[in-house]
Amino acid sequence: MESSIPPSCHAVIFDLDGTLVDTLPDLHHAINLVLEEEGLKTLAKEETRLMIGGGARNLIELAFAKREINADPSRIDAGFDRFLKYYGAEPTARSSTFPGVLNVLENLSKKGIAMGVCTNKPQEMAEQVLKALKISHFFGKAIIGGDTLSIRKPNANHLLAVIEKTGRVPKNALMVGDSETDVSAARNAGVPIIVVDFGYTALPPEKLKGDVLISHFDELIPALVSIGFGN
């Protein structure tokens, strides 16, 4: 990354669930509705937290596996459809942006830094969440969900496609995420990554080996500056 270029040439790409937004309460509610309908024991919130990051269908697969159900594809599909229905009906009833997110997005915007969202969450749901929480305008068209392309994180091309939509280039981009999937996507794309330690990773955050680890969004801009970004 070139620190000598102006901030207006930089881009910061965010993961959504567990990074920008604490979506766990609504995801947990919706997946448990599906499990209840299946006659299965519901998940504890901590169990659900460790299943987030691979997309909604993956969440269904992991939930069935957790209950030792070897579900066939048709059962997974049916559960996935019901999950989308329940979650889509109220995707932010219990969710909120993490502390400090709005302030950081406003500050980056004032600096002219472009921003995007790279998430494995379905496109329509990602846009619903961002719009409902009144932060979608910070990202414009640079929002790509997990069902929009033929690939998704950790494939580098998912992240690179978001960077392209910001109008910036990979060498001047950086990612912010919370999981092994995010770190792998960033490494595969050859961009630095700042990891937040309050997300949904199954691994301890310090073991994700991001370039910088932060515990609050108030630390994000100083972290950017510390690695020569956005000066």
Given the residues 15, 26, 178, 182, the one annotated as active site: 15
Residues recorded for the chain: 231
Domain 24-89 coded CATH 1.10.150.240 = yes
The count of C-alpha atoms lying within 13 angstroms of the C-alpha of 149, restricted to the half-sphere facing its C-beta, is 19
Indicate if 24-89 has the same CATH topology as 7-22+96-226. no
Stated pTM of the model: 0.91
Specify whether the CB–CB gap between 136 and 127 falls below 8 A.
yes
**Structure confidence by residue, pLDDT tens digits, 111-162:** 999 999 999 999 999 999 999 999 999 999 999 999 999 999 999 999 999 9
Specify whether the CB–CB gap between 139 and 117 falls below 8 A.
yes
Q: Position 175: which residue type?
A: M
Q: What is the CATH number of domain 7-22+96-226?
A: 3.40.50.1000
Q: For the chain, which residues make up each domain, given as ranges?
A: 7-22+96-226, 24-89
Which residues on neighbouring strands pair with residue 143, listed in sequence order?
117
Q: Is 15 a catalytic residue?
A: yes
**Structure confidence by residue, pLDDT tens digits, 48-91:** 998 997 888 999 999 999 998 888 899 999 999 999 999 999 99
